[in-house]
Structure 1
Amino acid sequence: MSKKTQLLNQLAGKNRGLLASEGDKVNILSAIAELEAENRTPNPIERTELLGGNWRLLYTTSKDLLSFDRFPILQTGQIYQCIIPEKSKVYNLAEVVGIPFLEVIVSVVAEFTPVSEKRVNVNFKRSIVGLQKLLGYKSPDAYIEEVEKGKKFPPLDFPIERNSDQKAWLEITYLDEDLRISRGNRGSVFVLSKV
């Protein structure tokens, strides 16, 4: 069994990390490190044909993302990271579900600047939060197309003010045709599959 298959098997049923025990987390991080060690794409930032597209989150250690499920009667649906290399843009989208007709989309638009063959600096530019129905949300692609055309989504569509100590970065430690592993500046790990 390949290291990639072993990792995917360990992630099954863990709900992006919410249902992972401490023992699971240790095993998953070990499997991630083993797969990173055999990364066959040493220069992922230059491989835009692999990097670009919509990625669905399979696992993370990010407390920010895992905290969406801490609200009563709400739970996180899918979480996507959509990368547009030719525009140096990243869209982070979280679908929050629970009460019918009150499904929410939480999104952040960012620009990235490559600083090495594996790492990009990330500059968060805009946040949009709203009811999926009111925003006309149907899919990540359709939503991003509207945002790229300049559409505004009041009242919770606002620029993110960058303060001088904001130093966000993301390093891609594994990349192939359908799996990506990244590590962030806060020590978080992200495992995503291409949609």
Structure 2
Amino acid sequence: MASLLHPTLPLCRRHNSPSIITTSISASGEFSSIRRRRNCNLKKGGGCRSSSSDVTFIEPPWAAQSKAELIASLKIKLLSAVSGLNRGLAANEDDLRKADSAAKELEAAGGTVDLSADIDKLQGQWKLIYSSAFSSRTLGGSRPGPPTGRLLPITLGQVLQRIDVFSNDFDNIVELELGAPWPLPPVEVTATLAHKFKLIGSSGIKIEFQKTTVKTTGNLSQLPPLEIPQLPENLRPATNRGSGEFEVTYLDSDTRVTRGDRGELRVFVIC
């Protein structure tokens, strides 16, 4: 493959006597340098040595951009893998594998998430664009929930998460359209499952269920919200289905990837 040769490019700098460096830049963006008077072996990560230990390596400007460009391309790959799957409701086994593989590549490139340092990045309202558990064809995902299907008069709208890092509020918001007997129009509602959250370790989050509020929208938006009462203490299940733990495996200013305590992969974008 043809290369562009740039003599005396300042990739290596010797402190006492000058020497000529020839730098070869290939079409793929890789580079190498050959020291003509003394051996100068570039090592991965930016080190450059000589027998007299007086040669330093100056990182080229494009090297600092490579990780950001890699992450950008892997984000596009993940979003492409989950697009057209209706939040995961239309995903088959092959779709699940492709989405999981693309998420793992992005997680590896992004590195370990430290929420203690990046807690501000959680702030805001996030839209769910994919959940691997929705492939089970239930609105509860990997947990019990109403089934989905053509014969069931429930249409899933947007699924959102509203996170306030100052008050530790963590609300799951689900938009639903409930079918009604003809000639009545369908009823549009928004269900808000309110939680409190706390950090676990560097990247884990635990949410504790507080209450569920249902609000009609559309033609019936004038009706007041309804808070669904909880079961009496002695009738509640041993485990609170509204609570759980998950790990944030990738996080930046507009994209978040999580893995739940039941193996559920979720992908969110800021909205």
Instruction: Give the superposition deviation at 1:90.
Output: 0.5
Provide the TM-score with structure 2 as the length reference: 0.59
Structure 2 counterpart of 1:29, from 89, 100, 120: 100
- Change in 2 beyond 3 A, CA 1:135/1:159: farther
| Structure having the higher Rg | 2
2:148 alignment counterpart: 69
d(CA) in 2 for partners of 1:176, 1:194 = 10
The C-alpha deviation readout for 1:6-43, integer Å capped at 9, x for no partner, is 11111111111111221111111111111111225621
d(CA) in 1 for partners of 2:175, 2:103 = 26
Instruction: Give the superposition deviation at 1:77.
Output: 0.8
| Partner amino acid, structure 1, of 2:132 | T
Q: Which runs of 5+ in 1 are unaligned?
A: 138-151
Query: Is contact 2:124–2:270 with CA below 8 Å preserved after alignment?
Result: yes
Provide the TM-score with structure 1 as the length reference: 0.80
Query: Is contact 2:191–2:215 with CA below 8 Å preserved after alignment?
Result: yes
- Change in 2 beyond 3 A, CA 1:123/1:25: same
Structure 2 counterpart of 1:12, from 40, 65, 83: 83
Instruction: Give the superposition deviation at 1:187.
Output: 1.7
Deviating more after overlay: 112-121 vs 173-182: 112-121
Query: Is contact 1:90–1:109 with CA below 8 Å preserved after alignment?
Result: yes
d(CA) in 1 for partners of 2:260, 2:211 = 19
Deviating more after overlay: 164-173 vs 80-89: 164-173
Query: Is contact 2:88–2:133 with CA below 8 Å preserved after alignment?
Result: no
Instruction: Give the superposition deviation at 1:177.
Output: 1.0
Deviating more after overlay: 65-74 vs 20-29: 65-74
- Change in 2 beyond 3 A, CA 1:163/1:45: farther
Does structure 1 residue 179 correspond to structure 2 residue 251? Answer: no
Instruction: Give the superposition deviation at 1:124.
Output: 0.7
3-state DSSP of counterpart to 1:50: helix
- Change in 2 beyond 3 A, CA 1:19/1:45: farther
Structure 1 counterpart of 2:192, from 82, 107, 128: 107
Instruction: Give the superposition deviation at 1:131.
Output: 2.4
Structure 2 counterpart of 1:95, from 154, 171, 175: 175
Deviating more after overlay: 32-41 vs 18-27: 32-41
1:82 alignment counterpart: 162
Instruction: Give the superposition deviation at 1:113.
Output: 1.4
More helix by share: 1
Q: Which runs of 5+ in 2 are unaligned?
A: 1-69, 180-184
Does structure 1 residue 118 correspond to structure 2 residue 198? Answer: no
Instruction: Give the superposition deviation at 1:153.
Output: 3.1
